[in-house]
Structure 1
Amino acid sequence: MMPSARFPDLEGASVLITGGGSGIGAALTEGFALQGCKVAFIDIADAASEALCDALEKSAGARPLFLNCDLRDIEALRAAVARAAAAHGPVTVLINNAAFDQRHAVEDVTPDYWDENQSINLRPHFFTAQAVAPGMKAAGRGSIINFTSTSFLINHPDMPSYTAAKAGIIGLTKGLAGKLGPDGIRVNAIAPGWVITERQRALWVTDEALSAHVANQCIREVMKPEDMVGPCLFLASDASLMLTAQTLIVDGGYL
């Protein structure tokens, strides 16, 4: 269920979401569209992204701007940011959501695999922030929200390159907050727990594992993609005006 709260200052805001065509990203695209934002999202999945745009055009009354882009290609990423700004005005809310949580064994990781993994899970966060920063500075305000993960906080054993990237996102968040804060730009991170997306169900969810995980949450309900929308809206809005360089853990109280 989408949050019932309305954030009037977000109406008409230019919002850019990476990985916004599926999973948590699709919920964020919908949630910000329902707030009356001008939403652009980056993804590589054409069919699913266009279907999302069609659905939101009906339900939210405005069609998001889908930008097909491989985030590993930094020049293409910069061009996508420029297209979003040309269509909707300078981006004042950036959500770095895109990630690829592929499992990998320590003994199988090669230098090329490591670099490829970081090129999806960490590097784009910086370069997307770099691309939107001038527009935010000119506007005198901005909110950058970086998605990290609780996976590195729970010592997840099966994806060391991914967990390294997710830990790095917190360092990046704090460094960017320190640099961009004087220009009115806030930078925060969200660390989700186990959010059950279609991808999670297809690849890793079993009844036993999910039940055991939820039993260790304080709130004993399965977390869904839309549960990440409210925290993002809060961090994007002026309700969090003096909040920056922070990591908000949203895991139902698992940690």
Structure 2
Amino acid sequence: MSMTVEYQCLKQKMVFITGGATGIGAAMVKAFLQQGAQVAFVDINDDAAANLLQTQQHERLWFRRVDVTQLEQLQQAITDATTHFGKLSVLINNVANDKRQLSQAVSVAEWRSCMQVNLDAAFFAAQAAYAFMQQQQTGAIINFSSINALTGQPNMAGYVTAKAGLIGMTKALARDFGTAGIRVNAILPGWVATDRQLASWFTAEEQQRWLDAVALKQFITPTDVANLALFLASEQSAMITGQAINIDAGRS
């Protein structure tokens, strides 16, 4: 990935990313490393994490296998990574599960599991991050919602609900954490052409539907999204908080 903008303010800053082994998460790990940041990430995909660690070997990179639904383990990982690097500057709540299922077939356990991954983990990660950021009176939290929270999608009621909740949570935490100098924003990607999406539901037919619906006749890449995350993490966005920012190629 080529780096077109250099953010001097991100050098040596510590960034914690959930779901950092693949897709957008991996693109952000690489992007922040290129900026000279110290990057900690968690994931449950051991193989993908091992590959990323091998290709990005660096003393500024830290990984732990964590199931984010285990909230105490997630918060402990944030604590341990911060102890390792010394200071937490940026939290990126990227982890998600966009499982598709008929609404009438969703069980109570499946609904709760969806909320645990897509919504609960972000709140409790932010809670843990606040404990460190408030000591410094500065910090940035970036939550990953989705344009699906605004448009709705069939057979994704749990995911859409959780992603809509993240927008509300972003606004609430921006108010609650603002007095400590902590900014909280949300990124709402459109359909991003990750390897996982291309291998599952983002078929040729769906790709054409996307191109028909957007102003910019292109696919969004993980790098495009990572570039937005860099900006929101940097001092160049110092007065931006409580915002939900679409990156969707102008989807109608």
Q: 1:42 is matched by which residue type in structure 2?
A: V
Residue 233 (1) aligns with residue 230 (2): yes
Counterpart in the other structure of 1:90: 87
Residue 43 (1) aligns with residue 43 (2): yes
Counterpart in the other structure of 2:188: 191
The alpha-carbon deviation at position 63 of structure 1 amounts to 4.9
Counterpart in the other structure of 2:10: 10
Q: 1:73 is matched by which residue type in structure 2?
A: Q
Residues of 1 paired with 2:137 and 2:180: CA distance? 6
What RMSD in Å do the two structures reach over aligned CA positions? 1.1
User: How many correspondences in the alignment?
Assistant: 252
**Greater displacement, 210-219 / 113-122:** 210-219
1:140–1:183: 8 Å Cα contact kept in structure 2?
yes
SS at match of 2:141: strand
Residues of 2 paired with 1:114 and 1:250: CA distance? 27
Counterpart in the other structure of 1:154: 151
Residues of 1 paired with 2:123 and 2:219: CA distance? 31
Regions of 4+ moved over 3 Å: none
1:102–1:159: 8 Å Cα contact kept in structure 2?
yes
What are the superposed Cα offsets for residues 183-226 of structure 1, whole Å, 9 maximum, x if unpaired? 00000000000001111111102212202212321111111111
1:93–1:144: 8 Å Cα contact kept in structure 2?
yes
The alpha-carbon deviation at position 2 of structure 1 amounts to 4.1
1:2–1:226: 8 Å Cα contact kept in structure 2?
no
SS at match of 2:219: coil
After TM superposition, list the pairs within 5 Å mapping 1:1-255 onto structure 2.
1-57=1-57, 61-255=58-252
Residues of 1 paired with 2:79 and 2:60: CA distance? 18
What are the superposed Cα offsets for residues 64-118 of structure 1, whole Å, 9 maximum, x if unpaired? 2111100000111111111110111221100000000000111111111110110
TM, length-normalised to structure 1: 0.96
Residues of 1 paired with 2:54 and 2:239: CA distance? 36
2:90–2:139: 8 Å Cα contact kept in structure 1?
yes
Q: 1:47 is matched by which residue type in structure 2?
A: D
Residues of 1 paired with 2:16 and 2:219: CA distance? 27
What are the superposed Cα offsets for residues 28-67 of structure 1, whole Å, 9 maximum, x if unpaired? 110001100000001011121011011112xxx5452111
Q: Percent identity?
A: 40
Structure 2 portions without partners, runs of 5+: none
1:71–1:124: 8 Å Cα contact kept in structure 2?
yes
1:90–1:132: 8 Å Cα contact kept in structure 2?
no
